[in-house]
Structure 1
Amino acid sequence: MAITGLEMAELVRELCHDEGTGPLALSGAAAGYRRFADAVGAGAAFPYVIVGAGDVPQWEAGSGVLDEAGRLVRTPSASSAGGAAVDFGPGEKRVTLAPHAAWIAAVEGHGHDVAGIEGLAQALAGMEELGVAVEAAAQAIDGLGQGLAGKQAASGQLDAIAALSTTAFGRSLLEQGDAGSARARIGALGASGVQRMGGAELHINTMAADAYPAEGWMGRVSVLTPALSVIMDGGQSSFRVVGVGSLANNRLYRANGTLAARADIVSGDVIGDYNVWGQIGGDFVELSRVRTTYVGAAPATNNLASRLNFYVGRTGSSAMQETLRLEHQAITAFGAVAPSSDNGFALGNGAARWSAIYAASGTISTSDARAKQDLADIDDALIDAWGTVDWRQYRFGEAVAAKGDAARTHMGLVAQEVRDAIDARLGMGTAVRLGLLCHDRWDVREAETGDDGVVTAGRAAGDRWGLRYEECLALEAAWQRRRIARLEARIAALETSA
């Protein structure tokens, strides 16, 4: 690709039924070949050759790219129209990714000698200058180190250390073999290892008197209140809530996701909160909260389900209101849910569908005249084609596999039958250009295991056909209207002749 700027790939050919001199919609891979979208990178240019199958030979060669709609945007280099874009007529055409004369000329015209590579000679000369500069910098750093060594010796700093060692206490500190021995020699914390600062206590290495886990223990900070003591432990970022009197308990929680089993923990207990506070209008209030709640029948190492609750402050009040709740296989929203931008995101996709949607009313689709263009009556030929579509009853294969004879029967349409009925009347590829027919493809996805051990299942590559039923029913209504109008006209004619 570096020589010609065009990307190459093997066995790429699609059929085309589009017309004109502009971008061409592609109808799908020819038998034994691949689609352009599956073989070339997004936004990449590639050489193409188009050959028409009509009575008058039409052909075109050039470079092209795929636009956002998957159409071939053409830049011809040679054609049956004297090198201009061919005005292709109706009928099938073959579009192939293949080298042609212009591509071969670009390859042969590319120079490969060193002198022909723009900027290479200047870059090599710059590398030589850089080596000289690096050597000079190394010599300067070496000289700077020697100067600093002499300055330190001359400054008398070593004399200060010598003066410290002249005292008995200073000499005893220098004689200690490790940090623990030095702390014991200082002895400033006292035998209990507890220091008080106002209403708080700092406990250092008081493990012997407390039933805390041994991993990473380094102490605690206790904030003392008449009824409740919140103890922040070091080590694994854990904390313990110790109540007094009616609030008495002995619960130990760790922020890294593990919970020490205690007999007094019950489902619904708050494991911990992450809060954000701020001063607004003179009041220091809670702005947001993320709460983790224990959910389980009894505390045990294999029963550690939890629920996340998200809260935000209510306008005009400091009270917190729950906005979102995350549970196992459930997400509950306490308010409206909307995408971050208009008409930019889908709910689900062809490979990950919602099993059912429950709503108090139907969906509202955009129907504003200001958002539409090219308004016209529905073509009679399309209505004729729709008249050949059959409504069906059926059962879903997955439901039969799971429920057997209990699987329910549904009524509706089959997407491929709709496609074939329309293409048979209006030409191959017509149906896929209508909004009522959808075709989704997805690539293979390997199974992954996250840092938390949760496995995300993989999936094979595939595709799925679908229908927009509101558009199908609109076309059905148009067919019914026309049929009724023709019957009424015939009845009126018979009554007039009688």
Structure 2
Amino acid sequence: MAFPYVIMNLVDPAQWEAGTGTLDGAGRLVRAPVASSAGGAAVDFSVGEKSVALTVHAAWLEAVDTHGHGIGEIEGLGEALAGRQAASGELDAIAAVSGTAFGRALLGQADGAAVRSHVGALGASGVQRMRGAELHINTQSDEDYALEGAIGKVSVQTQAMSIFMDGGQASFRVLSFGSLANNRLYRANGTFAARSDVVTNDVIGDYNVWGMIGGTFAELSRIRTTLTAAAPGPTNLASRMSFHVGRNGSAAMQEALRLEHQALTAFGSVAPSNDNGFALGSAAARWSVVHAASGAINTSDARVKDDVAAVGDDLLDAWGAVNWRQFRFADAVAAKGAGARWHIGLLAQQVLDAIDAQLGDGAAVRLGLLCHDVWDEGDRWGLRYDECLALEAAWQRRRIERIEVRLALLEAQDVAG
């Protein structure tokens, strides 16, 4: 009987031969090459180890495919394979797994109840461990699970439900107290009060960060979302977010910052991270109004000032050319028309021209009276009114002194006369 073969010289892999072979009476291979490193002829292999394999090669497949007896023509083969499942690598992999009788029986359970019965009920404590994590399931509403030093804990209550997932030094808490059937809210401002719907000032979500402090697992900060309107909807979320932190060693969380629609409220002082390093607003994004109980305090310590000198007469003479004006803001006129309010003040460009005409170009900007800010969409001139008013006071003081000197001379002349 003929069979396909392949021979490779292990000492010289460049020598190879594939063909159809038979065995003679002595059991020796009789070769009929169909392809070889010798151009299809029998290879005269050099001395050394050879690899001889019985394997299907292209010539053998071509001969089988063209011999007129396809696999579908084998008598009885179609009936024998009918209804049989095709080969599956996944099933072979599953079959290779050495499982237990318990696991195999689990696959045969009919429904969820049967699976739970097969697995077995939870212990009396209702705790199942998954490595470093704990799963607590509580079906009684009067029980709770505190986070007393436990790291990696999930706590679930099926009636008044709360979910705690704590890992490392942080945790995530979802509070959805209430009946799952009607989705009623049971938590309002930290207390339990059953109602049919969420109302204004209800706490609707907490994000808590916990950590080990002195060996105690304690809450360090909290982000709370609170409903602020009676009728929220897809385009009206109507809620505020507040940031709570522990304070002065107290275990209670205190609100530090509140964020609402177009409003940010701080429950304490607000300061930049660096001294004299950041601006509040910008020339292109100004605050519309600043409400304050007292005026701004500007640095005036003599120890932080150099080159202190009297205000020169040339600067006071230049300031004398500056005129105070009444005006209305263009955007207010565009919005309110005749109802736009009048204001009293200065025109930055007029101050610039008056000072520079007396002291030279750029003098007003170098003095700090004016600011010119430029950004991608435009530019704007501004005045430091506190310095302008100080210069106005110096100019008025000099003028009063000169008037007083003149009056003194006139009075002396009257006495002498």
**Amino acid aligned to 1:479:** W
1:464 aligned partner: 380
How far apart, in 2, do the equivalents of 1:491 and 1:162 lie? Answer: 114
Answering whether residue 251 of structure 2 is matched by residue 318 of structure 1, we say: yes
How far apart, in 1, do the equivalents of 2:221 and 2:382 lie? Answer: 42
Give the conservation status (yes or no) of the 8 Å contact 1:289–1:310.
Answer: yes
Q: Secondary structure at the match of 1:374?
A: coil
How far apart, in 2, do the equivalents of 1:388 and 1:162 lie? Answer: 96
Q: Secondary structure at the match of 2:114?
A: coil
**Match among 225, 233, 253 for residue 300 of structure 1:** 233
Superposed CA deviations along residues 44-63 of structure 1, whole A, max 9, x for unmatched, are: xxxxxxxxxxxxxxxxxxxx
2:122 aligned partner: 196
**Match among 333, 349, 353 for residue 420 of structure 1:** 353
How far apart, in 1, do the equivalents of 2:275 and 2:323 lie? Answer: 36
Answering whether residue 283 of structure 2 is matched by residue 357 of structure 1, we say: no
How far apart, in 2, do the equivalents of 1:282 and 1:169 lie? Answer: 42
How far apart, in 2, do the equivalents of 1:400 and 1:264 lie? Answer: 46
**Amino acid aligned to 2:379:** D
Superposed CA deviations along residues 174-200 of structure 1, whole A, max 9, x for unmatched, are: xxxxxxxx9734789753659636335
How far apart, in 1, do the equivalents of 2:273 and 2:220 lie? Answer: 22
**Match among 226, 233, 241 for residue 176 of structure 2:** 241
Give the conservation status (yes or no) of the 8 Å contact 1:242–1:249.
Answer: no
Superposed CA deviations along residues 5-28 of structure 1, whole A, max 9, x for unmatched, are: xxxxxxxxxxxxxxxxxxxxxxxx
1:480 aligned partner: 396
How far apart, in 2, do the equivalents of 1:162 and 1:392 lie? Answer: 91
Give the conservation status (yes or no) of the 8 Å contact 1:295–1:305.
Answer: yes
The structure whose RCO (Cα within 8 Å, separation 6+) is larger is 1
Give the conservation status (yes or no) of the 8 Å contact 2:258–2:265.
Answer: yes
What does 1:92-111 correspond to in 2, within 5 Å? none
From the superposition, tell whether residues 187 and 371 of structure 1 become closer, same or farther in structure 2 (CA, over 3 Å).
farther
Answering whether residue 357 of structure 2 is matched by residue 431 of structure 1, we say: no
Give the conservation status (yes or no) of the 8 Å contact 2:243–2:258.
Answer: yes
What does 1:103-122 correspond to in 2, within 5 Å? none
Give the conservation status (yes or no) of the 8 Å contact 1:438–1:465.
Answer: yes
1:228 aligned partner: 160
Give the conservation status (yes or no) of the 8 Å contact 1:200–1:223.
Answer: no
TM norm structure 2: 0.59
TM norm structure 1: 0.50
Q: Secondary structure at the match of 1:228?
A: coil
Q: Secondary structure at the match of 1:358?
A: coil
From the superposition, tell whether residues 495 and 280 of structure 1 become closer, same or farther in structure 2 (CA, over 3 Å).
same
1:467, distance to aligned residue in structure 2 (A): 0.5
How far apart, in 2, do the equivalents of 1:440 and 1:345 lie? Answer: 16
1:168, distance to aligned residue in structure 2 (A): 10
1:305, distance to aligned residue in structure 2 (A): 2.7
1:169, distance to aligned residue in structure 2 (A): 7.4
Answering whether residue 107 of structure 2 is matched by residue 184 of structure 1, we say: yes
1:282, distance to aligned residue in structure 2 (A): 4.9
**Match among 328, 332, 339 for residue 406 of structure 1:** 339
**Match among 267, 291, 301 for residue 368 of structure 1:** 301
Give the conservation status (yes or no) of the 8 Å contact 2:162–2:173.
Answer: no
1:273, distance to aligned residue in structure 2 (A): 0.9
Give the conservation status (yes or no) of the 8 Å contact 1:275–1:288.
Answer: yes
Q: Secondary structure at the match of 1:291?
A: strand
**Amino acid aligned to 1:243:** G
From the superposition, tell whether residues 482 and 283 of structure 1 become closer, same or farther in structure 2 (CA, over 3 Å).
same
Q: Secondary structure at the match of 1:277?
A: strand
From the superposition, tell whether residues 240 and 290 of structure 1 become closer, same or farther in structure 2 (CA, over 3 Å).
closer
Superposed CA deviations along residues 195-246 of structure 1, whole A, max 9, x for unmatched, are: 636335879xxxxxxxxxxxxxxxxx76238x7222579xxx99562437xx
1:431, distance to aligned residue in structure 2 (A): 1.3
From the superposition, tell whether residues 231 and 485 of structure 1 become closer, same or farther in structure 2 (CA, over 3 Å).
closer
From the superposition, tell whether residues 183 and 325 of structure 1 become closer, same or farther in structure 2 (CA, over 3 Å).
farther
Superposed CA deviations along residues 233-261 of structure 1, whole A, max 9, x for unmatched, are: 9xxx99562437xx996259xxxxxxxxx
Which one has a bigger Cα radius of gyration? 2
**Amino acid aligned to 1:230:** S
